[in-house]
Structure 1
Amino acid sequence: MASRIASSRRPRYLTESERDRLEEFINDIHYSARYSDDHYEYRHVMLPKAMLKAIPKDYFDPDTGCLKILHEEEWRGLGITQSLGWQHYETHVPEPHILLFKREKDFGQ
């Protein structure tokens, strides 16, 4: 697993043409059920494997080949839709199309 802090850099917004290339994959993004521990609730988001080829190269960590830890503006720009409070906190190196998210348990209550 790779984990890096997204807040140490500025969000990199997609251009209109980059967003257009991703459009065909958005309906095939899969969202896991939520699961939790004492502090956080979690879910993983599975992107279609072919989508990785359409995502700009600078969204990837050159050392791992996985997506960098993305700011909310970045993952939403890819077409990932979730309620408020979710944070991309880890990527799964053996399966780079899987993004792991968490948010505080009882967020918004």
Structure 2
Amino acid sequence: MAKKLKHFFSFQFLGVQVPDYSQFDTMSRPRYLTESERAKILEFQDMIHYSPRYTDDTHEYRHVMLPKSMLKAIPQDYFNPESGTLRILLEEEWRGLGITQSLGWEHYETHAPEPHILLFKRPINYGQ
């Protein structure tokens, strides 16, 4: 992550550094699963575990635990080549993996020591 941040500001516009969003996976188009990839993934859907929600002053959080064996069925381009963990997934991508949650959740981190755990957040009182 530090390596990415180092190159985050790539050019200046009117004397102001402008971020280079192209380096971040969350700014790109979703990579949808093929039919055969989706068939392999959906075998695990009933084994996905959702934590209770927890909050701070601004966000509510939850973590989603994928079955460890499911990681082998996920396409390699869903992984960060530097860390080997799942990269930050767009909503269409994590929903394609069979993760089902109400609207507003954002995948913001993968727990590196346990790469099958995905961390999600959304603004507190979202949709109210």
Q: TM-score range by the shorter chain?
A: over 0.9
Q: CA RMSD in A?
A: 1.9
Where in structure 1 do 4 or more consecutive aligned residues deviate above 3 Å? none
Q: Which one of 28, 32, 37 corresponds to residue 51 of structure 2? A: 32
How many residues align? The count is 109
Aligned to 1:54: 73
Q: Which one of 103, 109, 112 corresponds to residue 84 of structure 1? A: 103
Aligned to 1:97: 116
Please tell me the residue identity of whatever aligns with 2:94.
Answer: W
Please tell me whether residue 20 in structure 1 is matched to residue 39 in structure 2.
yes
Q: CA deviation at 1:108?
A: 0.4
Match of 2:44, SS?
helix
Give the distance between the partners of 1:7 and 1:82, measured in 2 at CA. 18
Match of 2:114, SS?
coil
Normalised to the residue count of structure 2, the TM-score between the two structures is 0.81
Structure of larger gyration radius: 2
Normalised to the residue count of structure 1, the TM-score between the two structures is 0.94
Give the distance between the partners of 1:104 and 1:5, measured in 2 at CA. 21
Q: Which one of 82, 92, 108 corresponds to residue 63 of structure 1? A: 82
Aligned to 2:13: none
Q: CA deviation at 1:6?
A: 3.8
Please tell me the residue identity of whatever aligns with 1:18.
Answer: E
Please tell me whether residue 107 in structure 1 is matched to residue 126 in structure 2.
yes
Please tell me the residue identity of whatever aligns with 1:76.
Answer: R
Runs of at least 5 residues in structure 2 that lack an aligned partner in the other structure: 3-22
Runs of at least 5 residues in structure 1 that lack an aligned partner in the other structure: none
Please tell me the residue identity of whatever aligns with 1:8.
Answer: M
